[in-house]
């Protein structure tokens, strides 16, 4: 940044636009500085998969070829962690759990994260945005994820938590664990996205259990990839990280929808309907505070279609809502429109209903207490 400022402010560096010798000037030096600045200011995004469900999600994210983010698998179970695929791995609570897991006890999961808090601080201090992906109901995801999200948020990291709630058949204890975990996660995150697994039974009752978990994972993956591409892929009209921080930093629940249409009749409307018709992410979008919208199309995408996409979204929202939109031209999408829609500050019945009875478990760990355990700082 200093060299760039020097180049454009120092008097002796001002180029002669009309040299007497007829030599041509180019902007290569300034361009090199600009590229360096862009590289330095590009949002650094981390996706942390916490616990078994979170590890499975980041493994699938890696298999899809996620671009623009680093993945980290974190677990108290060494065996689960070994078979996870991610850029980085972290064993939580090495002394407390000895790699054996949290035994479905959220208290142990929370204490394991506290034991590893200095390492977590060192990792999270390097990023601008963090996705925390987990399944609620067990020990590690339920207990550790809220601690990790609080550390991230306290460091000024934009923190988006994406979690699944257990199936009803998994039992009352898991349901209670999930309820308490969701409350803590909601309070310690900038934005929370909830995927209730039980809704899968209503939507696709014939799915096998394995297929159902894959569908839930896919929802998590679509949310992460959609938002990551929105931030780090430059467009003709940009949605930058400042826009994302403004929308998601307000707190509350959010929905992230991805839609696509190649219809010859009304592809703009259909792309939006596809993005907003995810019954697993059940929210009332009329209560939204702000919206981020990214429109991607081929070279045939015109101004009218762009306006139709924006109008199709805003028609469902209040008049005073904040709408930020970006446009990206992808030559491979001729005849197709994709819409990535992020609606934040919405009311979620699953969050509202599941953060009741907050003392049902009687857990005694306090997310507001200082996590400085006097451990050595890891570089």
Whether residue 145 contacts residue 202, with contact meaning beta carbons closer than 8 Å, is answered with: no
Among the CATH numbers 3.40.50.720, 3.40.50.1440, 3.30.1780.10, 3.40.50.300, which is that of 45-230?
3.40.50.1440
DSSP code string of 285-307: GGG-SEEEEEEEE-TT--HHHHH
Exposed/middle/buried for residue 40 (C-beta within 10 Å: 0-12, 13-18, 19+): exposed
pLDDT for res 368: 37
With residue 196 as reference, give the H or E element that holds it: strand 191-196
Q: Is the pLDDT of residue 151 over 60?
A: yes
Which of 84-98, 100-114, 336-350 has the weakest average pLDDT? 336-350
Q: Mean pLDDT, the chain, as a whole number?
A: 81
Q: Where are the domains of the chain?
A: 45-230, 250-352
Q: Do domains 45-230 and 250-352 have the same CATH topology?
A: no
For residues 221 and 58, the answer to whether their CB atoms sit within 8 Å is no
What's the pTM? Answer: 0.80
First to last CA, the chain: 25
| Residue reference for tokens 């058949």 | 169
Give residue-wise pLDDT tens across range 187-246. Answer: 999 999 888 888 777 777 887 878 877 877 777 787 788 788 778 777 777 777 888 888
User: CATH classification of 250-352, choosing from 1.10.287.3510, 3.40.190.10, 3.30.1330.20, 3.90.920.20?
Assistant: 3.30.1330.20
Instruction: State the Cα–Cα distance between residues 77 and 90, nearest whole angstrom.
Output: 10
Report d(CA 303, CA 140) in Å as an integer.
48
Return the ∠ at Cα 156 (arms to 153 and 160), rounded to 5°.
45
Does position 14 have pLDDT exceeding 70, yes or no? no
């Amino acid at each position: 940044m200093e060299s760039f400022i020097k180049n454009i402010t120092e008097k002796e560096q001002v180029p002669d636009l009309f040299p007497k010798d007829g030599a041509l000037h180019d902007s290569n030096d300034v361009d090199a500085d600009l590229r360096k600045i862009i590289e330095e200011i590009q949002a650094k995004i981390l996706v942390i998969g916490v616990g078994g469900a979170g590890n499975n999600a980041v493994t699938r994210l890696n298999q899809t070829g996620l671009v623009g983010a680093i993945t980290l698998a974190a677990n108290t179970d060494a065996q689960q962690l070994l078979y996870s695929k991610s850029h980085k791995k972290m064993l939580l609570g090495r002394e407390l759990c000895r790699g054996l897991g949290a035994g479905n006890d959220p208290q142990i999961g929370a204490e394991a994260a506290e034991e590893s808090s200095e390492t977590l601080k060192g990792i999270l201090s390097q990023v601008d945005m963090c996705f925390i992906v987990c399944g609620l109901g067990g020990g590690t995801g339920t207990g550790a994820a809220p601690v990790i999200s609080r550390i991230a948020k306290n460091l000024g990291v934009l923190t988006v938590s994406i979690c699944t709630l257990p199936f009803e058949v998994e039992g009352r204890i898991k349901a209670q664990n999930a309820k308490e975990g969701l409350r803590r996660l909601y309070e310690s995150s900038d934005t929370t996205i909830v995927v209730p697994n039980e809704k899968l039974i209503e939507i696709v009752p014939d799915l096998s259990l394995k297929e159902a978990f894959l569908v839930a994972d896919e929802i998590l993956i679509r949310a992460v990839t959609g938002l990551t591409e929105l931030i780090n892929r430059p467009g003709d009209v940009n949605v930058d990280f400042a826009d994302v921080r403004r929308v998601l930093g307000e707190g509350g629940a959010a929905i992230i929808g991805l839609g696509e249409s190649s219809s010859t009749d009304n592809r703009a409307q259909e792309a939006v309907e596809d993005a907003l018709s995810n019954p697993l992410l059940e929210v009332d979008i009329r209560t939204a505070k702000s919206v981020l919208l990214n429109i991607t199309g081929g070279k045939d995408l015109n101004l009218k279609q762009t306006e139709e996409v924006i109008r199709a979204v805003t028609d469902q929202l209040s008049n005073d809502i904040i709408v930020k939109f970006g446009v990206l031209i992808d030559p491979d999408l001729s005849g197709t429109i994709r819409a990535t829609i992020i609606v934040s500050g919405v009311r979620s019945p699953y969050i509202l209903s599941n953060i009741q009875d907050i003392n049902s478990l009687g857990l005694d760990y306090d997310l507001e207490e200082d996590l400085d355990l006097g451990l050595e700082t890891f570089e």
